Structure 1
Amino acid sequence: MGIVMTTGGNMTEFNTEVKADISSEFEIPQADEAGRIGASMPYLRYDSKDAEIGNGAKIEESVKSERTKIASQASQQSYVSLPVKNSYAEWTAVKSGSGVTMRFTMPDSTDGKGLTGSLDVYVNGEFCQKVDLTSYYMWQYFAGGNPSDKNNGGVPCFAFDEVHFILNKTLNPGDKIRVQNSGRDNLIYGVDFVEIEEVPQTIAQPANSLNVVDYGAKPNDGKDDYNAIRNCISAANIQGKDVYFPEGTFNIGRKWTFYGKNIKVTGAGMWYTNIQFTNSNANSGGIAFAGENSCYNVEFCNMYINSNLSSRYNEQASYKCFSDVPGNGSVIHDIWEDHFECGFWLGDYSGTVDYSDGMKIINCRIRNNLADGVNFCQGTSNSVVYNCSIRNNGDDGLACWNNNYLSAKDETGNVFAYNTIDFIWRAGGIAIYGGDGFNIYNNYICDTFMASGIHLNTTFDGYKFNNTKNIKFENNTLVRCGTYKDSWGSSLAAIDISQNVKNVSFVNTKIYDAWHDGIALKDNVQGIKFENTVIYGSGTAGQKVSGNVGAAIKTSGSPKAQIDNISITNSAYNHNDKPYLFTGSYNGISILNELLYNNLAYEVPGYPEVSDVTKDEETIKPGDNETTPGNDNRNDTGTSSNSETVSNQNDETKKKITKNKPGKVKIKSVKKTKGKMKITLKKLRGVYRYQIKVSTSKKFVGKNTLTKNLKGTKAVFKKINVAKKYYVKARAYKIVEKKRLYGRWSGVVSK
């Protein structure tokens, strides 16, 4: 046995049997240019733009991402407003499921403490249940660089929050789900989207584990369970056993300092087990790992964790969901965390510095935090964030900060891979402040507000980029990122690199509809390389900053960078037919193999599609290559160019394909106006994937042929020449046996 002195003088014994690193059981796939982009999650998003609305409901939009319009913080900058009694938004389910996540907005109170209210949910026209809502966690106001909890006249941020719930009945394909304002609260609500998924069965208590209930914890009784939980953990450490939290809500009224070695702590599933931190004061909640000498090889999983924090306390909240040092070989997976200062802040700030090396964060939902989603700090190395949803955080989504406080070592070897990052409302989607040997790949970043998609700088203390030999970004897609004015009053590019950053490479990077500049290279950055880059759309907000409305590439200071093989269109800034704004010394900028298009039509990749994974407790299999919109390598026969055709499948697969083949779709309307073409299809029952082709050629060939793959029945094609005649056709498709199965083409419509 080993013994450690805990806070308050208590001694905890450990079973010191040595076990293999838990993290080694969780493999992480390598970068894959042909693989999926973003996280593979079990839910399907139903966006406001695809909703049927009525009884006074209306679509609110912010096409220029205006700072004063809260629609700028919504998906694709639009949401459904439900301003009056009985106003509603309704969607038709295309997959079965009973788990619903709803992203909503509602007003703040005058004292900044929020209001309570509710919306009603109907299924197929019948009342299903009332969903309670609160704006307690929402609304931060930026009159300057830092937020205020009360309205100070500044830019309102954190305008949307989420609630998730299990329906009283399971939705089947074709069922209609309606969200409706009952009018009982006299409040104006808004809904950005709903996400629907199948809820798995509860996870049973594992063998060789202790149940917290047996040590006095009682779910759903409203009383504090901390002592019972602590006693159960201590007993498990002594006996060499794991710990189980059954279904229900367990309350903790203080910060939980976690001691444990070679231990698994699991709930019954993120839809069933809830840990609720009840204290709203600074430094009074969250899970703080005790450090490498008394905490390592920990597996923490399968639960939802929420807090009662609603203030960042002048950036002194010290209230993270997970913090300090979980230790070498630890894994945190299938955790849904909500409403903390930060989701994960891993680093040691006291005594002799301990480190986490080789720890992994996998399959987590990291959402609605006042600051960072994940920050690897203070020497955290060789650690991974993989297949996570990082959403609506008030500072960096994913960050590495190689601070040297207490002489902590520099950071090396960290990985951010296959994550989806959206709705970041300050700083950046991914931020790197120094270190070496990092790999950041196959991430999807979208819809930032007053934030870049990716940023690198040397603002903060630490080793910065002094020891950097190579940091590599690969196969990342950025959609609607950057800003013409952040909370400090500065513009940020979709990829923003400044100060003394050096030795960073970007390979296969795609930037779509950047709000301001696509790429900004500033100050004294050097050794920056871009290879195979697409910038389709920059300056889409249309806002001038120092005369610049948004360039594909902007430089200032004396940067040194090499850019090879770049394709650009739709840049708001052009000078002598070049979409580059060079200020300061630009002799260090080399641009090779450029393709510049004046009016190239392009498709913006949609939100990553639903995966085949339907159980929250499952780990994504390495190399899962779910196809995403905009990354289609398949031909019109519905087969991959390097795969077998349908005729070579076995009999069982043939039957499944024949049974599931979608019908022929009809084009409902085609409208051409102001350089855009809006197309609406007639929905097929049980189908939610469609493909539309638009061309100036009757045979749909040539450079003026465009293709969109979409979820839903509405599409908009940009950069359309209204003087020309276009031909339109469409078809539906499903994914069967991980292959696309297309229905017949519709009739051709000309416009």
Structure 2
Amino acid sequence: MARTGALRQTEKNCLGRVRRSIQPSPQLHRSPAASCDRGSCRQRDGNCWFFVQGVREMRRTNKPPRNHSSISKTGRTGAGRRRRAPGAGAPALRSAVAFESLELRQLMATVNVNDYGATPNDGRDDSAAINAAIRASNAGDIIQFGSGTYTIGEDLEARGEGRIYQGSGNTTLQATRGYIFHVAVDNATFRNLILDGPGIQIERAGGGMNSNIVIDNNEFRVRSYRAPNGSWWWNGVEFTTGLRNSQITNNRFTSIAGDNGIFGYYWDNLRIANNEFLNGNEGIHVIDHSDNSRNLLIEQNYFAYLRRMGIEYQGGGHNTIIQDNFY
């Protein structure tokens, strides 16, 4: 955060009221309290809270500001007092005090799946541990996956409310059955993950569109899953009840041995852009049997070495734009 004039006055003249160190923003991490070995953590709701990457200090006392100085950029007038500009500096003070709230810090917390027992590269099913981390998270949290390969034997039940599911640059989730993520919620983001197998299934029980789903900068290795009674064919991203105000961007779909890279029904403000579809069956397949879908933009995607179509569009819909794609 840049130091504004109002904020500098806060530090200079109101140190008794609010003291704030301007340092790189830390990330608040959470782990189960039972496994915590830190002596300086805060424990709440059965979880241990601790900071990493820098320190942010907030302190409040009842001491009034010196010389009755206010937070503004006006000059001093008479007897060392400062004339107060109407409302000047109030946003800066409110912002500084707001950072002191643990509840606000929780909205920025990172929950690491490794703290809940998920262990990469051991070949054991990590689904239960990852789902435990998801259940322990709060709205707005980042669910962080460390580097390595995690074995997924059961669906990961994603929760929404602004949660972000994030890899560490070399994080692979490897399916042994079914889809890796099952998404029946709104407001969820998936980024920086390698999904090996059927990737993300988005559907709402009882019908209705999922809203504000972001799938960005992932790699999908869309292989089929061979069940005991035969092969099951799957997609990288599948939405079956519709997507609203969502985007699928900057992803790479490779070895599409299943059905499609992206497959889905119904949409309302959906953007599919800047993705690569390489090797295998089909790139994008979208269907609207109702003629009620609207505002679909498919642009600047790249397709190569596919057996079928790059883009297959079926049915109706309004204001559909398919442009600037490369085949």
> TM-score, normalized by length of structure 1?
0.26
User: Alignment partner of 2:114: what SS?
Assistant: helix
State the shift of 1:220 in Å: 1.1
> Partners of 2:174 and 2:259 in 1: how far apart?
19
Are the counterparts in 1 of residues 278 and 306 from structure 2 also a CA contact under 8 Å? yes
- Find the aligned partners of 1:285 and 1:382 in 2 and give their Cα distance: 25
Q: Is the 8 A contact 2:164 2:189 kept in 1?
A: yes
Find the aligned partners of 1:342 and 1:276 in 2 and give their Cα distance. Answer: 14
Q: 2:200 aligns with which of 294, 299, 322?
A: 322
Q: Does 1:432 align with 2:310?
A: no
Judging by fraction of residues, say which structure has more helix. 2
Query: 1:359 & 1:325 partners in 2: Cα distance?
Result: 13
CA–CA distance in structure 2, aligned partners of residues 285 and 297 of structure 1: 19
Q: Which amino acid aligns with 2:171?
A: T
Runs of 4+ in 1 over 6 A off after TM superposition: none
3-state DSSP of counterpart to 2:162: strand
Where 1:423 maps in the other structure, the secondary structure is strand
Paired position in structure 2 for 1:392? 279
- Is 1:277 paired with 2:277? no
Kindly indicate whether residue 130 of structure 2 is the aligned counterpart of residue 229 of structure 1. Answer: yes
Which residue of structure 2 aligns with residue 401 of structure 1?
287
1:343 corresponds in structure 2 to 236
CA contact (8 A) 1:255 1:288 kept: yes
- SS of 1:296's equivalent in the other structure is coil
Task: Report if aligned partners of 2:267, 2:295 keep a CA contact under 8 Å in 1.
Answer: no
Contact 2:179 2:201 in 1 (8 A): no
Q: Matched residues, percent identical?
A: 25
* Superimposed CA distance per residue, residues 478-512 of structure 1 (whole angstroms, 9 cap, x where no aligned partner): xxxxxxxxxxxxxxxxxxxxxxxxxxxxxxxxxxx
Could you say if the C-alpha distance between residues 231 and 221 of structure 1 is closer, same or farther in structure 2, counting changes exceeding 3 Å?
same
Give the counterpart letter for 2:235 in structure 1: C
Candidates 207, 211, 216, aligned match of 2:112? 211
What corresponds to 2:251 in structure 1? Answer: 364
Kindly tell me the number of residue pairs found equivalent between the two proteins.
204
Residue 213 of structure 1 aligns with an amino acid whose one-letter code is N
User: Which residue is equivalent to 1:332?
Assistant: 215
Partner residue of 1:576? none
Residue of structure 2 in register with 1:566 after alignment? none
CA distance in 1, matches of 2:149, 2:279: 24
Partners of 2:165 and 2:191 within 8 A in 1: yes
Distance, in Å, in 2 between the alignment partners of 1:296 and 1:207 is: 18
Which secondary structure does the structure 1 equivalent of 2:193 belong to? Answer: strand
Return the offset for 1:393: 3.2
Q: Aligned partners of 2:214, 2:326: CA distance in 1, in Å? A: 23
Structure 1 residues 55-70: aligned runs within 5 Å = none
Q: Distance in 1 between matches of 2:148 and 2:159?
A: 23
Question: Matched residues in 2 for 1:211 and 1:344: separation?
Answer: 24
For 1:168-317, list aligned pairs within 5 A.
208-237=109-138, 240-269=140-169, 272-279=170-177, 284-290=178-184, 295-307=185-197
Indicate if the aligned counterparts of 1:347 and 1:380 stay in contact, CA closer than 8 A.
no
CA offsets 1:83-137 (integer angstroms, 9 cap, x no match): xxxxxxxxxxxxxxxxxxxxxxxxxxxxxxxxxxxxxxxxxxxxxxxxxxxxxxx
Contact 2:130–2:156 under 8 Å retained in 1: no
Between the aligned partners of 2:157 and 2:267, the Cα distance in structure 1 is 19
Question: Distance between the aligned counterparts of 2:140 and 2:249, measured in 1?
Answer: 24
In structure 2, the partner of 1:528 is none
Deviation at 1:240, TM superposition (A): 4.3
Q: CA RMSD in A?
A: 2.0
Q: Tell me the equivalent position of 1:132.
A: none
| Partner Cα distance (2:269, 2:264) in 1 | 10
Following TM superposition, by how much is the alpha carbon of 1:257 offset from its aligned partner in structure 2, in angstroms? 3.1
The 1-side partners of 2:235 and 2:296 are apart by 19
Indicate whether 1:442 and 2:324 are aligned. Answer: yes
Question: Partners in 1 of 2:203 and 2:319 — Cα distance?
Answer: 21
Cα pair 1:373 1:393 within 8 Å, conserved: no
Opposite residue 339 of structure 1, the aligned amino acid is V
Q: Distance in 2 between matches of 1:256 and 1:208?
A: 20
Change (3 A) 1:437 1:240: closer
Quote the residue 1:375 is aligned against.
263
Query: What amino acid sits opposite 2:288 in the alignment?
Result: N
Q: Deviations over 1:228-254 (max 9, x none)?
A: 1001111113x6422100111111112
**Who is 2:295 aligned against?**
413
Per-residue deviation at 1:223? 0.8
Q: For residues 638-695 of structure 1, give each alpha carbon's deviation from its aligned partner in whole angstroms, at most 9, with x where no partner exists.
A: xxxxxxxxxxxxxxxxxxxxxxxxxxxxxxxxxxxxxxxxxxxxxxxxxxxxxxxxxx
In 2, distance between residues paired with 1:333 and 1:218?
Answer: 25
* Counterpart-to-counterpart distance in 2, 1:359 and 1:438: 15
Given that 1:336 and 1:366 are in contact with CA atoms closer than 8 Å, whether structure 2 keeps it comes out as: yes
Residues 476-625 of structure 1: pairs in structure 2 closer than 5 A? none
Q: Secondary structure at the match of 2:307?
A: coil
Is the CA contact 2:222–2:261 (under 8 Å) kept in the aligned structure 1?
no
The correspondence of residues 690-709 of structure 1 with structure 2, limited to 5 A, is none
| 3-state secondary structure, aligned to 1:260 | coil
How far the C-alpha of 1:207 sits from its partner, in A, is 5.6
- Determine the C-alpha separation between the residues in 1 that align with 2:255 and 2:302: 14
Residues 553-599 of structure 1, C-alpha deviations (whole Å, 9 max, x = no match):
xxxxxxxxxxxxxxxxxxxxxxxxxxxxxxxxxxxxxxxxxxxxxxx
What is the distance in 2 between the residues matched to 1:257 and 1:214?
18
Contact 1:253/1:285 (<8 A) preserved: no
For residues 195-229 of structure 1, what are the alpha-carbon distances to aligned partners after superposition, in whole Å with 9 as ceiling and x for unaligned?
Answer: xxxxxxxxxxx962100001111111111111110
**Equivalent position amino acid for 1:402 in 2:** D
In 1, are the aligned partners of 2:192 and 2:216 still within 8 Å (CA)? yes
Q: Which amino acid aligns with 2:180?
A: G
Q: What amino acid maps onto 2:122 in structure 1?
A: D
TM-score, normalising length from structure 2? 0.59
- SS of match in other structure, 2:318: coil
CA distance in 2, matches of 1:229, 1:444: 38
Unpaired segments of 5 or more residues in structure 2? 1-106, 205-209, 224-233
Asked if the contact 2:274–2:302 (Cα under 8 Å) also holds between the matched residues in 1, the reply is yes
Matched to 1:211, the amino acid is: N
| Corresponding letter in the other structure for 1:274 | T
Q: Distance in 2 between matches of 1:232 and 1:422?
A: 38
SS in 2 for 1:228: helix
Aligned-partner Cα distance in 2 for 1:296–1:229: 20
Distance 1:415 1:375 in 2: 15
